[in-house]
Amino acid sequence: MLAVQLVTYISVVVAVVAMLVKVYRYATAPEHMRWELYPVPHEKGRADYGGSYLEELDWWSKPRHSDMVNEMKEMAAEIILLKGVFHHNRRVWRSSFPFHFGLYLCIGWLVLLLLGAVLQAFGIDVGATAGGLGRGIHYVTMALGYAGLILGGLGALGLFFWRMSDENQRPFNSPMEYFNLIFFVIVAVVTVLASALADPSFASLRAYVQAVVTFSTAPAIPAPVAAEVILLSLLILYIPLTRMSHFVAKYFLYHAVRWNDEPNVRGSKIEKRIAELLNQKVGWSGAHIQTGQTWGEVIKEPKK
Amino acid sequence: MSEHLRPKDISKKTDRLVHVDPAKFPKLPYPYEDWEDPPIPELSDAKKAERDVSLDGVSNLVVPMPKTEAEKEEIVAKFLVGLRKLFSKENNWTFLKPLMLSMDNCVKCNTCAEACPIFQESGRVAAYRPLFRSEVLRRIVKKHLTPGGKLTAKFTGNDIDVNWETVSRLAQLAYRCTLCRRCAQTCPMGVDNGLLSREIRKLFSQELGLSPAELHGDGTIKQLETGSSTGLSPVALMDLIEFAEEDITDRTGLNIKIPFDKSGADILLIHNAGEFLSWPENLEAFAILFEIAGLSWTLSSEMVGYDSVNYGLFYDDAQYARVTLKHAEVARKLGVKKVVVGECGHAHKALMAIGDRVWLAESNVPRESCMATMEDLIVNEKVMVNPERNDFPVTTHDPCNMTRSMGIIEPQRRILRKICPQFREMTPHGVHNYCCGGGSGFAIMQSHNFPEWKMAISGRRKFAQILEAFTKDELKPSVHKYVCAPCSNCKGQIRDIITHFDAWERCGMLYGGLVELIVNCMTDVREGFIEWEDFH
The CATH number covering residue A127 comes to: 1.20.950.20
Q: What is the pLDDT of residue B3?
A: 63
Q: Is residue A280 part of a domain?
A: yes
- pLDDT for residue B391 is more than 80: yes
Mark whether A147 and A231 lie in a shared domain: yes
DSSP code for B369: E
Residues of chain B contacting residue A57, judged by C-beta atoms under 8 Å apart: 368, 372-373, 375-376
CB A128 within 8 A of CB A103: no
Contact A301/B322, CB-based, under 8 Å?
Answer: yes
Q: How confident is the model at residue B381 (pLDDT cuts 50, 70, 90)?
A: very high
- Select from A293, A209, A236 the least CA-distant residue to A12: A236
Residues of B in contact with A288 (CB under 8 A): 209, 216, 221, 316, 318-319
CA–CA distance, B459 with B443 (Å, rounded to integer): 10
Domain spans in chain B, listed from the N-terminal domain onward: 7-208, 221-520
Q: Are residues A173 and A287 in the same domain?
A: no
pLDDT for res A196? 96
Per the domain annotation, does A143 fall within a domain? Answer: yes
- The answer for B179, left when phi > 0, alpha when psi is -120 to 50, beta otherwise, is left
Confirm if B7 and A174 have CB atoms less than 8 A apart. Answer: no
The reply to whether A281 and A253 lie within a common domain is no
CB-based contact A253 B105, cutoff 8 Å: yes
**Do A106 and A239 reside in the same domain of the chain?**
yes
- Both A281 and A148 in one domain: the answer is no
Q: Are residues A184 and A218 in the same domain?
A: yes
State whether A37 and B404 contact (CB < 8 Å).
yes
Element (H, E) at A120: helix A90-121
Task: Give the model confidence (pLDDT) of B319-378 as tens digits.
Answer: 999 999 999 999 999 999 999 999 999 999 999 999 999 999 999 999 999 999 999 999
Chain A residues in contact with B207 by the CB 8 A cut-off are 284-286
- Are both A229 and A196 inside the same structural domain? yes
Mean pLDDT across B152-160: 92
| Nearest Cβ partner for A33 among B89, B191, B357 | B357
How distant is the Cα of A119 from the closest Cα of chain B, in angstroms?
38
Nearest to A249 among B78, B101, B208 (CB): B101
SS3 at position B510: strand
The span from the CA of B404 to the CA of B401, in Å, is 6
d(CA B339, CA A52): 18
Task: With respect to residue A74, please indicate whether it lies within any of the assigned structural domains.
Answer: no
CB pairs under 8 A between A and B: 273
Both A276 and A149 in one domain: the answer is no
On whether residue A223 sits in a domain, the answer given is yes
- The answer to whether residue A275 is domain-embedded is yes
CA gap B367, B339 in Å, rounded: 5
A6 to chain B, closest Cα gap in Å: 26
pLDDT > 70: percent of chain B: 99
A115 domain-assigned: yes
A286 and A233 co-located in one domain: no
Instruction: Specify whether A113 is located in the same domain as A193.
Output: yes
Question: Largest Cα–Cα distance of chain B, in whole Å?
Answer: 76
* Residues in chain B within 8 Å Cβ distance of A280: 89-90, 93
Under 8 Å between Cβ of B423 and B390: no
Q: Which residues contact B274 (CB under 8 A, 6 or more apart)?
A: B230, B309, B488, B489, B492
> Which chain A residues touch B368 with a CB distance below 8 Å?
57-59
* One domain for residues A248 and A137: yes
For residue A289, give the nearest of B89, B114, B206 by CB distance.
B206
* ipTM exceeds 0.85: yes
Mark yes or no for CB contact B408/A243 under 8 Å: no
The C-alpha atoms of residue B270 and residue B323 are separated, in whole angstroms, by 13
Q: What is the pLDDT along chain A (304 residues), one digit of tens a residue?
A: 789 999 999 999 999 999 999 999 999 999 999 999 999 999 999 999 999 999 999 999 999 999 999 999 999 999 999 999 999 999 999 999 999 999 999 999 999 999 999 999 999 999 999 999 999 999 999 999 999 999 999 999 999 999 999 999 999 999 999 999 999 999 999 999 999 999 999 999 999 999 999 999 999 999 999 999 999 999 999 999 888 888 889 999 999 999 999 999 999 999 999 999 999 999 999 999 999 999 999 999 888 7
In total, how many domains does chain A have?
2
pLDDT at B1: 45
Residues A133, A18 share a domain: yes
Q: Domain for residue A38, yes or no? A: no
Which residue range is the domain that position A125 belongs to?
2-31+82-258
A170 within a domain of the structure (yes/no): yes
- At residue B462, the pLDDT reads 98
Determine if the peptide bond prior to B188 is cis (ω within 30°): no
> In terms of CA atoms, which chain B residue is nearest residue A43?
B407
**pLDDT at residue B105 is higher than 90:** yes
Q: What's the average model confidence in pLDDT over B437-444?
A: 98
